[in-house]
Amino acid sequence: MRSRVRLALKICRISLLTATLAATSAAAQKSGGTLRLYHNDTPPSASLLEESTIASVTPFAAVFNNLVVFDPAKIHESLDTVIPDLAESWSWDATNTRLTFRLRQGVKWHDGKPFTAKDVQCTWRMLIGKSEVQDFRRNPRRVWYSKLQDVSINGDFEATFELSEPQPSLPVLLASAFSPVYPCHVPQQVMRTRPVGTGPFKLAEFKRGDSIRLVRNPDYWKKDRPFVDEITFKMIDSRSTRMLAFSTGEFDITFPSDISVPLMKDVMARAPKAVCELTPTGTQINLMVNRVNPPFDNPEIRKAMSLALDRKAFNTVLMEGQGLMGGAMLPQPVGEWGMPPEMVSSLTGYGGDIDKNIAEAKAIMQKLGYSDANPLPIKIQTRNLPTYRDPAVMLTDQLKKIHIVGELDILDTPRWYAKLAKKDYTIGLNVTGISVDDPDGNIVENYSCKSERN
Please tell me the predicted confidence (pLDDT) of residue 114: 98
Please tell me the predicted confidence (pLDDT) of residue 414: 85
Residue 291 buriedness (CB in 10 A; 0-12 / 13-18 / 19+): middle
Q: What is the pairing mode between strands 275-289 and 324-325? A: unpaired
In CATH, the architecture of 281-447 is Roll (3.10)
pLDDT in tens, 393-411: 999 999 999 999 999 999 9
The pTM for the full model equals: 0.88
Please tell me the predicted confidence (pLDDT) of residue 16: 52
Please tell me the predicted confidence (pLDDT) of residue 29: 59
DSSP structure string for 178-210: T-PPPPTTS-HHHHTTS---SSSEEEEEEETTT
Q: Where are the domains positioned within the chain? A: 281-447
- Find, among 296, 289, 387, the residue nearest to 2 by Cα: 289
Average pLDDT of the chain to the nearest whole number? 89
- Find, among 183, 215, 212, 211, the residue nearest to 198 by Cα: 183
| H/E segment holding residue 25 | none
Other residues' Cβ atoms within 10 Å of the Cβ of residue 167 = 20
Rounded CA separation 281/253 (Å): 16
Please tell me the predicted confidence (pLDDT) of residue 333: 85
pLDDT in tens, 54-110: 999 999 999 999 999 999 998 888 899 999 999 999 999 999 999 999 999 999 999
Low-confidence ranges of the chain (pLDDT < 70): 1-29, 454
Please tell me the predicted confidence (pLDDT) of residue 95: 98
Question: Reduced to 3 states, what is the DSSP secondary structure of residue 23?
Answer: helix
Rounded CA separation 429/398 (Å): 13
Q: Cα 353 to chain center, whole Å? A: 33
Q: How many residues does the chain have?
A: 454
Please tell me the predicted confidence (pLDDT) of residue 454: 67
Rounded CA separation 236/242 (Å): 6
Rounded CA separation 291/172 (Å): 32
Contact 159, 102 (CB under 8 A): no
Would you give the DSSP letter of residue 375?
-
| H/E segment holding residue 146 | none
Q: How far is CA 206 from CA 66, 94, 236, 360, 371, in A?
A: 22, 46, 15, 52, 51
Please tell me the predicted confidence (pLDDT) of residue 446: 80
